[in-house]
Structure 1
Amino acid sequence: MAGDNFTVVTEFILLGFSDLPKLQGILFGIFFVIYMSIILGNGLLIVITKIDSGLQTPMYFFLGNFSFLEICYTSVTIPRMLADLWTQKKTISFLACAVQTFFLYILGSAECLLLAVMAYDRYVAICKPLYYPLIMNHKLCVQLVVSSWLIGIPILFVETYQVFHLHFCGPNKLNHIFCDAPPLLELACGDTHKTEIFVAVPALLLILIPFLLILASYIKIITTILKLPSNSGRIKAFSTCFSHLTVVGLFYGSASIVYLQPKSSGESVKIFALVYTTVTPMFNPLIYSLRNKDVIAALRKLLPK
């Protein structure tokens, strides 16, 4: 911007956990351990779903892809967070902030859609078991995964462009742990009402539509389970869905609070952002393995006693 009363913002300062100066080293250690556990845990799930013959089914195909997505998703935010905690240099360039926001949104939307795909897989398996091999063939599974990754790219590219096309001419301190639209809009100069709507609508669609598909799938699943003649059959059918429901609850619950209630306080936004970007990926391997006999059996084959 040209003018004596304005300065051009070329970088942002991520405040992160700067209000806890004495805990920077401890926080670095905690997030380093979390990141390593995410990579190792989800990486292990990817390996066993690829090499174990008993896990060559659509459900575990989706689980392997979901684990890979979790690794990518956390790699957009945690390494940068670790670098800031280690060096105490909180600055991030304008371009790097835009790139981080774009990939955060692309991977976040892919996670929403893939969770819906996994719910549909459970719906077909429980409600239409005789047709399951025909419907959930390998070609369809690949198409569903690829679509989950790609469908949000054009929408979110335009959304990111709209956010970073705003004029930033004043404060450059982001009260957040990574670059994101809500705190960025607070720093923009001029009227941001139209951009806020433009940001909120895709977020609403990419969170709400997959969630409604998941909800519809599980209404059908629960209705079918309740009609099963034996208690053991009901318990077995529901146990195959419990892990997925837990991940859905953690991810959608925290993400909805951040993006559907953008006026939340900065500290609460940080906490809930950590849940869907860090806690959920960390617990994903545990959630899917502790209650899954097939995964436990595959781990016993792969790992020494």
Structure 2
Amino acid sequence: MATIQETNDAGLFGGRLGRHLEMVSRKVLHVSRKDRLSLAVTRLTCERQDRDRTASIAPESAFSITYKLKDVEEHEFWSDGRMRYSRGFGAGTVNAIDLSEDPRSRVRGAFDTLQFYIRKDALDDLAYERGASPVSSLRSLPDATDATLGAMSSFLLSTPDLLETNQLFVDHIALSLLTYFAQNYGGMRVAPTSSGGLASWQERRAKEIMHSRLSAHVTISDIARECRLTPSYFAKAFRRTTGMSPHQYLTQLRIQEAKGLLLSSTLPLADIALICGFGDQSYFTRVFTRSVGSSPGAWRRSMIS
């Protein structure tokens, strides 16, 4: 995982966040929709025992949610010029901060935390798509641990290659995280709906796109646009219709295509991985083995022997 390269319009995440806090920052996830950043995930680490209070920042229409990977000895926090607390936090706890309220911090002790940077307009778009009221704030309880977010964080940190090679899956994860934060920390409530799955033409079009772009970069937004749906609605409707997520369906298609090439050609595994959209041989081998029960090479030998 490489350090995020800061751009002129970057928010308080990645490299800029690391410099602001004087800590090491590592990119975990960076997702944009409609050419606009919606979610960024950064890991922050530091072994120094004492630090100065951070400087003021220009107000941002965004939230910063931090998940503590290790205990925090002491965290002093100010917003809008007032001290809000001075205390320690246990591993697994969560802090939600509004970046429009001039947040300033001073942390003592070693630090290891995952930051989720969420733009308010991304939450507004999500609420609009779901037919819910806009999310005006995100709130956390200081001593409450979040096992669900902990599991999501562990997954993000353990699968860097997957996040770099499978854009469809990245979109699915980002939508899941945004929805989780909006519902569990922002109180978003979605009204019950009687709508079902995809129309027959939408299902056919979605599958056509995935079949024709096995080796290409394809996102949920791309497919949803062709089906005249929002990405979040499309993902839910596709699962209702097919019984699997778009990512699962595309992976199944790629495995079937790979099986055909393994049997009908002598192409090396690295070439088959690229042709079928797996990115590299290592990721191809893991996905194939998990789905089929044996590695691509072993499966090929067993089928032609």
Of Structure 1 and Structure 2, the greater helix share is in: 1
What is the TM-score when the length of structure 1 is the normalising length? 0.27
Q: TM-score, normalised by structure 2?
A: 0.27
Considering fraction of residues, name the structure with more strand: 2
